[in-house]
Amino acid sequence: MKIYTIGVYGSTEEEFYGKLTKFQIDLFCDIRQRRGVRGRQYAFVNSSYLQKRLSELGIGYLYEKRFAPTREIREMQWAEDKEEHQTKKSRETLGHAFCCGYEQLILDKENLDELMVSFESMNAQRVVLFCLESRPEACHRSLLAHRLSEKYHLEVVHL
């Protein structure tokens, strides 16, 4: 099994779904808190449309909200963003407080074995972890991917 990560900001619908098919993704794991995006520019990743399109492409869909950062964790990042005078979309890396909070409150508490069983039960070989940020270093998906890589010795590719 190989783990991929993908964001949507800065992508067109064609580019986004093109990456999934190019890398032969067979399971799409959505780890967002909310499965919608405001505005028309990224409507192609709103839950209903996304799931319909993935189904057409023969890609399985799994929603794992338990791996989304809580409001408390997001507030840690907002505070760091404010100190650094940056916006969510301009952020290049996650802050130390966010990373520690996410690791302690999510990764250390959630059962990764159960997640792997879900992947395996869907016969997944190429799983993509999805959230919004374009840069994996600025998104929690990179932290989850890293933990999966360490624990299960999986290769990680950021699309």
Cα separation, 144 vs 137, in Å, equals 11
Residue 128's nearest CA partner among 107, 145, 153, 151 is 145
Longest dimension (CA), the chain: 44
Predicted confidence pLDDT, tens digits, the chain (159 residues) = 999 999 999 999 999 999 999 999 999 999 999 888 888 999 999 999 999 999 999 999 999 999 999 999 999 998 888 888 877 777 788 989 999 999 999 999 999 999 999 999 999 999 999 999 999 999 999 999 999 999 999 999 999
pLDDT in tens, 41-75: 999 999 999 999 999 999 999 999 999 999 999 99
Q: What is the pTM of this model?
A: 0.93
Q: With beta carbons less than 8 A apart as the criterion, state whether 146 and 23 touch.
A: no
Q: With beta carbons less than 8 A apart as the criterion, state whether 156 and 145 touch.
A: yes
**Cβ count within 10 A of residue 99:** 18
